[in-house]
């Protein structure tokens, strides 16, 4: 049964003028809305105290297990305002299901799908004024997360867990037009290993990504591309986005699930492939295959997919072993088509033939 969230509005909402100034240039992750969702779990009562309250700091015991052993998971999704003012979520059920799978991997309690979606919807309703206006690719970014809040230093699953949802207005990811990134293929670091936490969306994976990201920046690249597989010679993903390749013979190729994150955007791109005349293929992809394919022109486009940027064109790769441009070094045709198609579905400009959109207000 879906839990009800009790709303207690803040006594100190951000003044309208200040909010409008923020919404004029929200950036990403810098400004937070007025409310948050919290729910507490203990083994004897289960989930309880479902609330939407004023955004406020947590009081956390220094012994809280999350601070020591990183028993924590997260999600990320967006609310979009349409031209008619209505507000919609994109496939929130997939985030809910992935949250259950991540919780299982980190031995956190299961929050049922309906309650997850309702928690996000409840926060959007409370902070409706924070959903940016239509036009300009802005959205309200929602961050559900769950962590071990029990004060206990033994290593075992926590007996007190906090679930929370916060929200940030998000500006257009490419305010000056869609540009591409060059990926650093790290042979020094890996993101995930077989049997590890690669498929879980957990904070620990992000902590481990900071050193490889520093390495990438040091080589003049914007992001990392990780390798995986038994020999660490196969394409994995970029750490915040899944990767795709378009081939000359009209295939859309992406690594199979396993150690990579099962992205909502990835799943959506695969589902739309046929409408763009591409044959979707999920399989292991060797780094050497990509290097050769870029050199002989069989690989024509590359892009990354994730909620924050939707589709990011990849215009080059660099590693200790080689450097290569993708195509002519500008975003490819299919890359731009997928980006436009997804945004058009999200903002209600294209028909939602797959039933992906979920109306909140
Ligand atoms: C969240 C995430 C993605 C993208 O998933 P979406 O559901 O499309 O946003 C890709 N890789 C990693 C490691 C992630 O955490």
pLDDT in tens, 229-249: 989 999 999 989 999 999 999
pLDDT of residue 161: 98
The residue whose C-alpha atom lies closest to atom 1 belonging to ligand 1 is 240
Q: Residue 187, class by beta-carbon neighbours within 10 Å (0-12 exposed, 13-18 middle, 19+ buried)?
A: middle
C-alpha of residue 244 to centroid of ligand 1, in Å = 13
pLDDT tens-digit map of 269-286? 999 999 999 999 999 999
pLDDT at 177: 82
Q: Is 10 exposed, middle or buried (0-12, 13-18, 19+ CB in 10 A)?
A: middle
Q: Tell me, in angstroms, the distance from the centre of ligand 1 to residue 159's CA.
A: 28
- Determine which residue's CA is closest to atom 10 belonging to ligand 1: 241
Our mutation pick for probing the ligand 1 site, out of 74, 76, 308, counting the most ligand atoms within 8 A of Cβ, is 76
**CB under 6 Å to ligand 1: residues?**
76, 201, 237, 239-242, 261, 263-266, 305-307
Q: What is the pLDDT of residue 248?
A: 97
Residue 1: the pLDDT is 66
Q: Which atom belonging to ligand 1 lies closest to the Cα atom of 306?
A: 8
Reading phi first (left if > 0) and then psi (alpha if -120 to 50, else beta), residue 84 is in alpha
Extract the residue ranges of the chain whose pLDDT is less than 50: none
User: Residues 295, 300, 304, CA angle at the centre, nearest 5°?
Assistant: 110
pLDDT of residue 2: 78
Residue whose Cα lies nearest atom 5 of ligand 1: it is: 263
Q: Which residues contact 106 (CB under 8 A, 6 or more apart)?
A: 71, 72, 73, 197, 200, 202
How would you class 157 by CB atoms within 10 Å of its CB: exposed for 0-12, middle for 13-18, buried for 19 or more? middle
**Model pTM?**
0.98
Q: Structure tokens of 32?
A: 């937070």
**Quick one: pLDDT at residue 136?**
87
Q: Which domains does the chain have, with CATH numbers?
A: 6-170 (3.30.470.10), 181-347 (3.20.10.10)
Q: Is 106 left (phi over 0), alpha (psi -120 to 50) or beta?
A: alpha
Distance between CA 135 and CA 114 in Å, rounded? 30
């Amino acid at each position: 049964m879906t839990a009800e969230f009790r709303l207690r509005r803040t006594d100190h909402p951000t003044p309208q003028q200040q909010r409008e100034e923020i919404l004029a240039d929200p950036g990403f992750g810098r400004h937070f809305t007025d409310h948050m969702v919290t729910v507490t779990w203990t083994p004897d009562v289960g989930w309880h105290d479902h609330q939407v309250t004023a955004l406020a700091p947590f009081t956390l015991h220094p012994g809280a297990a999350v601070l020591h052993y990183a028993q924590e998971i997260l999600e990320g999704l967006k609310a979009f305002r349409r031209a008619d003012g209505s507000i919609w979520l994109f496939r929130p059920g997939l985030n809910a299901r992935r949250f259950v799978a991540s919780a299982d991997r980190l031995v956190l309690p299961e929050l049922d799908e309906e309650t997850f979606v309702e928690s996000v919807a409840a926060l959007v309703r409370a902070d409706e004024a924070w959903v940016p206006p239509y036009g300009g690719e802005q959205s309200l970014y929602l961050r559900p997360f769950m962590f071990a809040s029990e004060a206990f230093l033994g290593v075992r699953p926590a007996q007190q867990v906090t679930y929370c949802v916060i929200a940030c207005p998000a500006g257009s990811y490419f305010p000056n037009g869609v540009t591409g990134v060059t990926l650093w293929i790290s042979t020094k670091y890996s993101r995930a290993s077989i049997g590890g936490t690669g498929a879980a969306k957990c904070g620990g994976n992000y902590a481990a990504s900071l050193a490889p990201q520093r390495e990438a920046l040091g080589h003049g690249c914007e992001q990392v591309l990780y390798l995986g597989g038994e020999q660490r010679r196969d394409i994995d993903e970029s750490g915040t986005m899944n990767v795709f390749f378009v081939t000359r013979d009209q295939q859309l190729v992406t690594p199979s699930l396993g150690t990579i994150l099962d992205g909502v955007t990835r799943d959506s791109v695969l589902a739309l492939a046929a409408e763009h005349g591409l044959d979707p293929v999920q399989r292991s992809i060797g780094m050497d295959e990509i290097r050769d394919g870029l050199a002989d022109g069989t690989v024509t486009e590359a892009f990354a997919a994730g909620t924050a940027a939707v589709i990011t064109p990849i215009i080059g790769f660099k590693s200790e072993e080689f450097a290569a441009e993708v195509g002519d070094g500008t975003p490819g045709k299919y890359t731009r088509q997928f980006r436009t198609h997804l945004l058009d579905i999200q903002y209600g400009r294209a028909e939602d033939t797959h039933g992906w959109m979920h109306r909140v207000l």
